[in-house]
Structure 1
Amino acid sequence: MGQYYKPINLENGQWLYSHDYGNGLKLMEHSWIGNEFVGAVMKMMVAGGSWHKNPIVWCGDYYDEEDYYSKVADNDKIQPNEFLTKQQQLKAILVNHTTKEYVVYSKIPVNSNGWQVNPLPLLTALGNGRGGGDYDLDYPDADKVGIWAKHILSVEYEIPEGYKELKVAFKEEWINSQ
């Protein structure tokens, strides 16, 4: 069975639904650079956005240590119509203000099909490895999945002074059956 995910802002309870953007609910069905669903979350995380410097999780419905997934209210679901484009995402820097670390999007590896995994859903994922469609535990940097969950995050365009780079090499390969 597949595990379904939704990004949740732990400060205000807001969340987004991937189907509203034409994406699947499973983690790796929407965790790629250029995706409008993830781009909408990223847009809210820039300076002036409603999720800027807020604690965020990308919670799976199989995650059972804390029930963030089912506790969010239906009336807290939002559907922003603005998102960061692929070009804007590739210029982004994901910043963790809790650990004083950052990830540079332009350094994310490209797979053989030209796709890049978006690090935001993976770094904040809760429940990975418990269902189909998750980031495979044998893939590069699988040990980093979820390490930024519940942390204070933002999307910036300049590296914050005094912060350390977290290098991630998330990469998913698949065979094109065409």
Structure 2
Amino acid sequence: MGQYFEAMFLAPDCDEILGTMFSGVLKMSESGMFGYYCARPVESVERLLTQPVRVVWAGETAAPEPDHLDPTNLHGRAMDAPRLPHLDQEPVGRYLLNHDQRRYVDKNAANNPQCHVHPLVVLTAEGWYEDTDPVGDWARERISVADTVPGGFEELLFTYTYPLPS
């Protein structure tokens, strides 16, 4: 049960896929849980976000793209996109930065018993089973990960809850 997701990196000025990870093998509950062995895929994505990059975590049921080409959504198009390397040794910063909205999430504050799921996955998801705030609020926007927050950024308190897998 559930659908598969691809972490994708998009071109700065259009929705061309520059690269993707995971080859459609991860479900949301497998890719983004804090404190589980499966959080490693999210950290792999974060390690590539040293500079602002447009990111989306596209699901199989994401809406069709406006160009009406086949495959119709980003998830379907991921099969032909370049695969990006996994950088297991690079450190991962504490803050998720949205350079378009000038907001940030402190991952340490989000990693609590009520949240369970990584904020990067939720904030950049398209095609998830629920379309509620904050799901997808940062999708296709310029995101980076850093140890410090630039001046002029406002904190987004990430309090989204997701049930633990049984």
Please give the TM-score of this superposition, normalised by the length of structure 2.
0.79
Cross-structure match for 2:108 = 106
The question of 1:161 aligning with 2:159 is answered: no
Distance 2:52 2:45 in 1: 12
Change (3 A) 1:56 1:75: closer
Over the aligned positions, Cα root-mean-square deviation in angstroms equals 2.5
Cα displacement (A) at 1:170: 2.3
Cross-structure match for 2:82 = 76
Distance 2:59 2:96 in 1: 21
SS in structure 1 opposite 2:21? coil
Counterpart contact for 1:60–1:128, Cα < 8 Å:
yes
Corresponding residue to 1:15 among 17, 20, 24: 20
Cα displacement (A) at 1:94: 0.2
**Residue correspondence of structure 1 range 16-165 to structure 2 within 5 A:** 16-17=21-22, 25-33=26-34, 35-46=39-50, 52-66=51-65, 67-74=73-80, 76-82=82-88, 89=92, 92-111=94-113, 116-129=116-129, 142-165=132-155
Please give the TM-score of this superposition, normalised by the length of structure 1.
0.74
Unaligned segments of structure 2, at least 5 residues: 12-16, 66-72
Pick the structure with more strand per residue.
Answer: 2
Aligned partner letter, 1:17 = F
Unaligned segments of structure 1, at least 5 residues: 47-51, 130-135
SS in structure 2 opposite 1:33? coil
Deviates more, 1:165-174 or 1:120-129: 165-174
